[in-house]
Structure 1
Amino acid sequence: MLAVVAGVYVIEGFPMGLFADLLPVYWKQAGVPLATIGALSGLGLAWAIKPFWSPLLHRFGEHRRWISGAMAAIACMLFAGGADAPSPILLWAGTGLLCLASATQDMAIDAYTIGIVPRGDEGLANAVRITTYRVGVILAGTLPLLVAGPFGWRAGHLVAASLAGAMAMATWLAPRVEVSSEARKDLAGALRTWRLRGGLTGVLGFVLLYRIGDLAMAPMLKPFWVDRGLSNEEIAFVSTTLGTLATVAGAGAGGLFVTRYGIPKSLLWLGIAALGSNLGYAAAAAEGASHEAVYAASLLESFCGGLAASGFLAFLMRICEREYAAVQYAVLTGAYAALGRLIGTGSGWAVEQIGYPTFFATTAAIALPALTLLPAARHWVALVAEENEPPPAKL
């Protein structure tokens, strides 16, 4: 099971690596204006609004078909790209297709994973998810780039297209997850159980606020490094390379913690650890803080981010029903991602008004209300356990 999870999350991370790491380099070297590059990044909104077409995934076709189709579409986009002077129409159409296909396969992969991971194994499964997702991001952002250096961007795109095509075909090696035709036709059922459980408002509030501190802080981390006089090499090595390793280590430790102590305790203690990482950046931003203090804050933030993600994703997986996972998981992840993006848009203004130390401390404070909503989250975890108990044996 974990091997299948690893495979599909390499696939899920691959398009994000294209969008966030590879294509911006190509665009800049191809002479695309900075204003256009910034505007193209706005197409990433597809990941936040994906719940709007999640009912299509629930109603039509099985998960592997959506994953394979999305990767095939991305392969075609890459095969057509790589021109020295890309036309504006192809540039926008291709990037839009990439974002739409990637957001769609995200929903399909998340729903598929919920369908194959046994209850109680979410901790280790999420450690694998986070780690292999990063592998997919790195693969997309490095291998085609290395090929493009000596052989040109057309060759780099062909390599990326080949990888995407191979992933589209490899998807069919994964086992099928069955969803009954009755459940597919019953779209209202995706929200019916949530309403019947009670406490829906509290749980949604918890989901929206639990990671809000990290999401609000994220847009200002790299600018903070630059303002503190750190070099590009330091940013690349400490924040990106070592930060990725720290995130993976945190995800592994978080997965073990969830497995050992359960989801309710993990949400509390791993969430507190995540808030501590925001305070670590606040301390590093204090006047006179050394470069080493910034390094430590970055690695602490990455490690604690991996910890909290393991617990939080395990919770989201647990409260989603296998039959309706495509809709339910998309709604939950889309909601907190959209709120985080919204708050992040004002992060630069906030830093200008109150400075880095106070800003970072404030991002920890705005996540505290989530801890007051923990009882609602714990109640749902308990209810799910009751819902999945086997019926008593007949005498």
Structure 2
Amino acid sequence: MKLTRIPDACHGWVTSLKIYGQKPVLLMLSLGFSSGLPLLLVFSTLSFWLREAGVSRTEIGYMSWIALAYGVKWIWSPLVDHLSFPILSQHLGRRRSWMLMAQLAIITGLVGMAFSDPALSVSQLVAFALLVSFSSATQDMTIDAFRIESAPEHLQAAMAAAFMTGYRIAMIVSGAGVLWLAAAFSHSHSDYQPHAWQAAYLCMAILMGIGLISALFAKEPQLPAREAAPFHILRRYRRQGYSRFKSKLFAWLFHTIVSPFADFWNRFRWHAVLILLLISCYRIADVVMGVMANAFYVDMGFSKADVASISKVFGVIMTLVGAGFGGILVNRFGTGKILFCGALLTASTNLLFSYMATQPPSLALLTCVISADNLSAGIATAAFITYLSSLTNIAFSATQYALLSSIMLLLPKFLAGFSGVLVDHIGYNHFFMVTALMGLPSLLLIAVLMQLKPFSKK
């Protein structure tokens, strides 16, 4: 019997797929779930709750600034990189102890949100949502540093895709799961019933236990011990006449806060300006549109069950497909080309939402638009996470990745706060067109950077 030889091209694809079976990659599934669960609970799912409670679109847009904690997390990132919890870190290590503390704070915030009612007191809900947002941002930067430090460079694209898979599964739970639970606990499909939302958020607090288990059973990265500060910095302060205590303090602050940013600039020089501009622009089209997406579904007349089934499940599944496919594409064709492709697709799919705004409600059309949008987002995100990871120095992984991912969200989240005002003035149709145009600067910057400093192939 003659055996058929597998073509070399097919063999290459099979080899690429095997990378997803390695232990560091598989661990990212559970950690990605822990990272992804809180986001929608203070973002689009919260906007659905607020809209159903009678909160105006303008207020919903402004309340999206709660998520700005993700955009300023670089401020406290040096603490995550250099401070350890006295007892906990001795048993778990610095990275895992920070994960655990952040997850406990997230659970506390979600329980507080569960016992709040925006129809009676928006301020109480906002306070607990801020706690969830701050703690979730802290958890994210810790997991990002853990991922970068736990595996060699050739695994980073696959780990990014696995992380996104877990992240998006969590988004199914915190998106569709919350809507389904809220519908199940409701006695009526039309009236606002706060107890239904409160029960759903309590369930989310319980599911954060997956993050606690992941932190306890993960293996702390084995890295060389870090000095409090390089000796030459300490000696410089001593020569300036400072006491030994002040010299140590100033040297530690310099090494902790200044050195990560100085290292980034020294490695990339003036290219760093273009890199930071690209990072700040890359997700504008996606984030600004996303704030109003759920309000758009409500105003179009879709029910919670419709949105849960199509947008929050089928759409997220398409994102997982896109993330997995994106990881393979980056591994085979390099980061730059897939980064450009993802940015182009993400901006273009916003035009589909613009078309849908001019049509009568249609579940078939909603399914097609959501599928295209989420598939594009998955490809773009896998490439973008890989790109950000390649820019960091492992000596300052938490601080530098936090800076980059903060810049990624700061401008988009700020502009998204005005999305409700924009919709009220120009309508959904033109709003989605404007968000599509917001994707053009990132395409130009990627093209320029590919010419000046080619992207590394993973």
Instruction: Indicate the residue corresponding to 1:126 in structure 2.
Output: 160
Tell me the equivalent position of 2:83. Answer: 60
Work out which of the residue numbers 50, 54, 73 in structure 2 matches 1:50.
Answer: 73
Equivalent of 1:189 in 248, 259, 264: 259
Distance 1:278 1:92 in 2: 29
- Structure 1 residues 241-256: aligned runs within 5 Å: 241-256=313-328
Query: Quick one: structure 1 residues 228 and 383, their matched pair in 2 at CA, closer, same or farther if it must change by over 3 Å?
Result: closer
Structure 2 counterpart of 1:372, from 436, 444, 448: 444
Contact 1:48–1:335 under 8 Å retained in 2 = yes
Percent of aligned pairs with the same amino acid: 27
What pairs with 1:253-268 in structure 2 (closer than 5 Å)?
253-268=325-340
Query: Do 2:102 and 2:139's aligned partners in 1 also have CA atoms closer than 8 Å?
Result: yes
Compute the displacement of 1:200 (Å): 1.2
In structure 2, the CA distance between the partners of 1:90 and 1:295, relative to structure 1 (3 Å rule), is closer
After superposition, what is the alpha-carbon deviation per residue over 1:86-143, rounded to whole angstroms, capped at 9, x for unaligned? 9979866644433322221111011111112321333322221111012234446648
Q: Deviations over 1:263-300 (max 9, x none)?
A: 01111222222222123223334467965334322221
- 1:309 is matched with 381
Q: TM-score, normalised by structure 2?
A: 0.70
Give 2:103's aligned residue.
71
Residue 100 of structure 1: aligned partner: 134
Structure 2 residue aligned with 1:392: none
Q: In 2 relative to 1, CA 7–365 (structure 1 residues): closer, same or farther, beyond 3 Å?
A: same
Deviation (angstroms), 1:344: 1.6
User: Residues 333-380 of structure 1: CA distance to partner in whole angstroms, max 9, x if unpaired?
Assistant: 212312112222222333344443333233222221222212564479
Decide whether the 8 Å contact of 2:322 with 2:375 is kept in 1.
yes
Cα distance change, pair 60–123 in 1 and its aligned pair in 2 (3 A)? same
- The one-letter code matched in structure 2 to 1:305 is A
Deviation of 1:219 after TM superposition, in Å, equals 2.3
In the other structure, the counterpart of 2:21 is none
Separation (CA, whole Å) in 2 of partners of 1:337 and 1:163:
26
1:123–1:310 Cα contact (<8 Å) kept? yes
Aligned length: 383
State the partner residue of 1:215.
Answer: 287
| d(CA) in 1 for partners of 2:405, 2:436 | 20
Q: 1:65 to 1:277 in 2, by over 3 A?
A: same
Please name the residue that 1:176 is paired with: 220
When the two chains are superposed, the root-mean-square deviation of aligned CA atoms in Å is 3.9
| Match of residue 396 from structure 2 | 324
Give the aligned residue type for 1:174: A
Residue 189 of structure 2 corresponds to none
Call closer, same or farther: CA 1:57–1:228 in 2, change over 3 Å.
same
CA contact (8 A) 1:319 1:381 kept: no
State yes or no: 1:135 paired with 2:169. yes
Aligned residues of 1:315 and 1:381 also touching (Cα < 8 A): no
Alignment-mate amino acid for residue 255 of structure 1: G
> Whole-Å Cα distance in 1 between the matches of residues 228 and 456 of structure 2?
18
SS at 1:182 equivalent: coil
Counterpart position of 1:5: 28
CA distance in 2, matches of 1:320, 1:311: 15
Match of 2:344 in 1: 272
Checking the alignment, whether the CA contact within 8 Å between 2:354 and 2:433 is kept in structure 1 is yes
**Alignment gaps of 5+ in structure 1:** 389-395
Distance 1:81 1:281 in 2: 31
Note closer, same or farther for the CA distance 1:342–1:116 as it changes in structure 2 (3 Å cut). Answer: same
